[in-house]
A and B are shown apart, each in its own frame.
Chain A
Amino acid sequence: EVQLVESGGGLVQPGGSLRLTCVVSGFTFSDHYMDWVRQAPGKGLEWVGRTRSKADSYTTEYAASVKGRFSISRDDSKNSLFLQMNSLKTEDTAVYYCSRLSAYYYYMDVWGKGTTVTVSS
C-alpha cells in the first residue's frame, strides 16, 4: 500500500524555523518527483514546491511566496522528503501536505494526511 506520512509540524514563533519530514512506503521513492502543498485555515490549496528525481538531478521549484525561505530536499536511501522552513511568517500557518507525482503524467496522484504548522507569538 502506498503511504505518505508527514511529521514535524508544531507551534513556532515568527522568524523561526521548522523542518517537516514526509516518509513514504509502498513504492520506489527514487523514481518520483515529490511536491509540498499547503492549506491555510479555512482556505484553498496552495502549491509550495517540488523536488525532481535523481534522474533529473534533484532540481527544485518553489512558489514565489516561499522562495528564498523554504528549501526542499530528499534522502532516497531513507524514503524521506523534507521541507526546511526558515524566516517563518504568520501567513505560513497551514496544514502542509506532501504528495507524490505520477511517474508519467506528473500530477499529484497520492497525498499524505498532512501536518499542521502554526506560526504565532
Chain B
Amino acid sequence: DIQMTQSPSSLSASVGDRVTITCRASQGIGNNLAWFQQKPGKAPKSLIYAASSLQSGVPSKFSGSGSGTDFTLTISSLQPEDFATYYCQQYNSYPLTFGGGTKVEIK
C-alpha cells in the first residue's frame, strides 16, 4: 500500500498568512493526487485534483504543486472560512489512501 504522510499535522496561522501543507507518498504516484478540505461535522470538499488542477468553484487562493512523491497545498492568504482540516489522497493505485490530515487553526 502507498503511505501518504502529511506535515505538519497541525498548524496555527493568522488571517492573511500564506500557508503551505506538504504531502509525501511512499512511492511515486505521478500526479494522481487530490486535496480535500473538511470542516467539523461536514463532508470533505474537493479542492485540487491531478496535483495542481483547481476544482471548479474553488477560489484561486488555493493551489497545488508537485509530482512523483512530493506535493504541496498552498493557501495564499488565509481567511476565516479556511480554518479546517486538509487531507491529501492518492488515486494512483489500490487501495486508495489518504494522508493523516493537517488541522489549520487560528493563531
Interface residues of A (CB under 8 A from B): 35, 37, 44-47, 50, 61, 63-64, 97, 102, 105-114
Contact = CB atoms under 8 A, between A and B. Distances in A.
Contacts of B97: 47
Nearest to A102: B49
A47 B43 contact: no
Q: Which 6 pairs between the two chains have the least Cβ-Cβ distance?
A: A47-B96, A107-B49, A111-B43, A107-B34, A45-B98, A44-B101
Interface of B: 32, 34, 36, 38, 42-46, 49-50, 53, 55, 87, 89, 91, 94-101
B46 to A, nearest CB: 5
B43 A114 contact: yes
Nearest to B38: A45
B55 A109 contact: yes
A44 B101 CA distance: 7
Given A44-B100, A45-B44, A111-B44, A105 B95 contact: no
A40 to B, nearest CB: 12
Given A44-B101, A45-B44, A108 B87 contact: no
